[in-house]
Structure 1
Amino acid sequence: MTEQCSPCKQLHIFEYSNNVKIIIHIDSLALGNAIGGTRMLPYDSVESAIQDVKKLSSAMSLKAAIHGLNQGGGKCVIFNPEKLHFNEIAPLYTSALNQLAGSFIAANDMGISIKMINDIRHLSPFLISSNQLIDDPSYFTALGVFHCIQYITKNHLDTTIPNIKIQGLGRSGAPLCKMLLDSGFKVSAYDIKVSHVEQFKKHPNFSALDETNWFSLPCDIFAPCASGNVITNSNVHLINSKFVCGTANNPCENMAVINTLHSHHIQFIPDFVSNGGGLIYAAGTYHQLSRKEIIDKIKNIPKLISKLSCSSSNMYVNALSIANEKISSFVNES
């Protein structure tokens, strides 16, 4: 099933046996073919999966535009209520990609490892791994946030060793934590999986947090690195940090939360700015850029923060305006 949501937006639902649905949302093709990750999470319903994929694909459009990538935004989620192994779903997944004939280029995301994507690279030319075996884009997402935190520390904080609080020590949170600890930062962190925290406990600059105190504990920079919507209307008043800058997509529940952070003088680095490293790597790899070219581009992410923080207005609003203007200008020209 294909649903034309607007002149630019497309929702594709590929239905298979065992109630498996491959759901792909293309948010924009204005700047090029859409690119984005694929999630396989235990969604409660098809409706919640569709809601997630639409919100995530919109973030991909903004991310591609703000970072100057010649790509549109898209996302895929796999609705898998029978909990089939990805190996069973892979032929269906790659068939869906092939039917879209390149309008969507897929990477991995939550629930799908980089090994899974590399193992099926021969089944579709529309995977970011189709030209070569690739590394996990999550590492490069973490790398971009690391450079942002370094920039914030140097230019906006009155301490050389700030305390960074990380929520989530998974595929992007763990490498971010390691980079920070290796560079002398103090890190406190919480993860619902105790095993994720254990690997860092012996480091003298690391503090493990528990579920009773992690959210409201004071810090200089709060780095959400798990699922989205962690900062909500009901808990935003508990945030006790100077900056919010992490790897998570859509960490704020809605625009009202972002405005509240701004009114409380908490700088929210737009997620589609800070976490752009993964998409930069995915697009660069697909277009066969060198690793050095990709990393150099990721190292330039803090320049966007400098540009966006020149005025006292809401940084997120500024970034949103710049990204949407880029997308609109291409739409109007075409």
Structure 2
Amino acid sequence: MNIFAYLEQYDYEQLVFCQDKASGLKAIIAIHDTTLGPALGGCRMWTYAREDDAILDALRLARGMTYKAAVAGLNLGGGKTVVMGNAKTDKNEALFRSLGRYIQSLGGRYITAEDVGTDVHDMDLIHMETDYVTGISQAYGSSGNPSPVTAFGVFRGMQATVKAAFGTDDLAGKRVAIQGLGNVGMHVARLVKEAGGELIVADINDDSVRSAVNELNAKAVDVKDIFEVDCDIFAPCALGAVINDSTIDRLRCQVIAGSANNQLAEDKHGDLLHQRGVAYAPDYVINAGGLMNVADELEGYNAERAHNKVDGIYQIIENVFEMSRKENIPSYRAADRLAEQRIDQMRRVRSNYLFHEKSLHR
């Protein structure tokens, strides 16, 4: 790939390649935009077929984090780390400590966190070399497992999306089809049940499905049939790109609101949902609770304060749909526009000259 042309096209600031022969570290740190503050984004460990795939993944994910932080109202930019390797067989202490030294060398421009293929233990190893890491053990003042907080934000975003579609945010009697019952999806299911919703669930893990059926009185369907169930709300809480050419015409819902990342396979699918009157909660807005939660660690973690920030996802989703209605644009474009407006405003504000004592010595 033509790396510099790609960086210029999407306004990236920095791309860092990290390697350590002794530990086997091969990693890429992408920093997209630090207008609002230091770039925060998770550390993903994955087996990539090609180096170009790893680079592109890091770049796309970093840009997504910029938009997520901006629309969430955080004073953070977007970044991402991708470690090339098998998360089950290639992990070792030296690898993550070496990565920690690379992160430390960036002087606070980038802060890492957990992501696919990494966990709290890995973050603790990075923390041995740098303070620029979140999601570490609670013994160090961290927030612990972010899944319940992320799920709460998804639930509040779901309520706001339901209000946009039906005029009320009451979930009582609403049929909610949840695709994926992982850590976040199961917590979302419990919150929906508590709010009086009726659950239809699907997951590749039979144990998770049985738990939802027994504990929450959910109706189980096969994973291949979840798109076609007659429901009010479809909640993708597993893989990305689930709204695509083969699924979009099978959907029987008026609302799409779930925790999965990158739910739209292409922008055109967001356009089609808008044309059909389906209220879609942009994924990086509705699932921002996890980011809000770990971002609070940077201030000295306070659970009540973090909870209140995540509760604000309701209002952010309302703002997205308000812009969508006023300008007659799809909700995903409205979310992008809100993020871009905030970044542009702060870029202009921060271009103003501020006196600094070091100027006297030049």
Between stretches 71-80 and 49-58, larger displacement belongs to 49-58
Count of residue correspondences? 332
Q: Which residue of 2 aligns with 1:13?
A: 17
Q: Which residue of 2 aligns with 1:33?
A: 38
The Cα shift of 1:198 comes to 3.0
The match for 2:221 among 205, 209, 220 is: 209
Is 1:218–2:234 an aligned residue pair? no
Once the two structures are superposed, the pairs formed by residues 1-334 of structure 1 within 5 Å of their partners are 5-6=7-8, 8-17=12-21, 20-81=25-86, 83-85=89-91, 87=93, 89-118=95-124, 120-129=126-135, 132-153=141-162, 156-157=165-166, 160-310=172-322, 311=325, 312-333=328-349, 334=351
Q: Deviations over 1:66-99 (max 9, x none)?
A: 1111000111121105831354532232122112
The Cα shift of 1:129 comes to 4.3
- Structure 1 length-normalised TM: 0.90
Paired with 1:250 and 1:187, the residues of 2 have a C-alpha distance of 23
The Cα shift of 1:124 comes to 1.7
Paired with 1:219 and 1:116, the residues of 2 have a C-alpha distance of 40
Between stretches 27-36 and 163-172, larger displacement belongs to 163-172
Identity %, equivalent residues: 28
Paired with 1:282 and 1:23, the residues of 2 have a C-alpha distance of 22
Q: Deviations over 1:133-170 (max 9, x none)?
A: 33122322211011122334456337732111222222
- Structure 2 length-normalised TM: 0.84
Paired with 2:257 and 2:340, the residues of 1 have a C-alpha distance of 21
1:59–1:250 contact (8 Å) kept in structure 2: no
The Cα shift of 1:16 comes to 3.2
Q: Deviations over 1:8-50 (max 9, x none)?
A: 4322221233764212211111100001112223333322222
1:56–1:75 contact (8 Å) kept in structure 2: yes
The Cα shift of 1:251 comes to 1.0
Closer/same/farther in 2, CA of residues 189 and 16 from structure 1, 3 Å limit? farther
1:162–1:185 contact (8 Å) kept in structure 2: yes
Structure 2: any 5+ residue segments left out of the alignment?
352-362
Structure 1: any 5+ residue segments left out of the alignment?
none
Over alpha carbons, which structure has the higher Rg? 2
Closer/same/farther in 2, CA of residues 183 and 87 from structure 1, 3 Å limit? farther
2:242–2:265 contact (8 Å) kept in structure 1: yes
Paired with 1:140 and 1:256, the residues of 2 have a C-alpha distance of 31
The aligned amino acid for 2:333 is V
2:135–2:144 contact (8 Å) kept in structure 1: no
Between stretches 265-274 and 175-184, larger displacement belongs to 175-184
Closer/same/farther in 2, CA of residues 48 and 285 from structure 1, 3 Å limit? same
1:121–1:129 contact (8 Å) kept in structure 2: no
The Cα shift of 1:277 comes to 0.6
The aligned amino acid for 2:249 is H
